[in-house]
Copies of this chain bind each other. A is one copy, B any other.
């Protein structure tokens, strides 16, 4: 699921940067597959609870899977929202040139966070989960910088473009937040502790 969400946002970002409306449409059509995966995770998790009565770490793993699947489904929705803005603005570009570089970076960072979260889920490597916090801090810096750009009195694009940029920036920031939550839920499953409580 995490890899699928990363792929969706990667494509949505490419579609946004290069006005590739077909690619955006593919992201929109592909979202249902992630929703189906979420339902499947819940089914498997419920069956595991029913037939295996897991305890301790196994029980935490199942509970974490249920919670993480909601977060990753939401990551897919956010990629979908980016793609929808691309389609709505087509054939106009969704982004003005001033913020292209920032969004290129936010896109790369968000995709990287999702792939790292996938790796944490796969490897149950608790130390790797710590890296996600640093990446998320970098995302917050980019997100805040976007507001500095928007609030500048010399912003030349008016309100409608500013509204789009505000929402798009928020989609990337939320996507990154959810990736961190997914990694943290794995940490909780492995250790029984919230990440903040683990001395590293």
Q: Could you list which residues of chain A lie within 8 angstroms of chain B, going by C-beta atoms? A: 42, 45-46, 49-50, 53, 55, 59-60, 63, 66-67, 70-71, 147, 150-151, 155, 158-160, 162-163, 166-167, 170
Contact = CB atoms under 8 A, between A and B. Distances in A.
Contact of A50 (B59, B151, B170): B59
Query: Copy number in this complex?
Result: 2
A159 B160 contact: no
A71 B67 CA distance: 10
Contacts of A170: 167, 170
Interface of A is mostly: helix
Contacts of A71: 70
Contacts of A67: 66-67, 70
Contacts of A155: 159
B50 A63 contact: no
Nearest to A162: B159
23 contacts: A42-B63, A46-B60, A46-B63, A49-B49, A49-B63, A53-B53, A66-B66, A66-B67, A67-B67, A70-B71, A147-B163, A150-B163, A151-B159, A151-B160, A151-B163, A155-B159, A158-B159, A159-B162, A162-B162, A163-B163, A163-B166, A166-B166, A167-B170
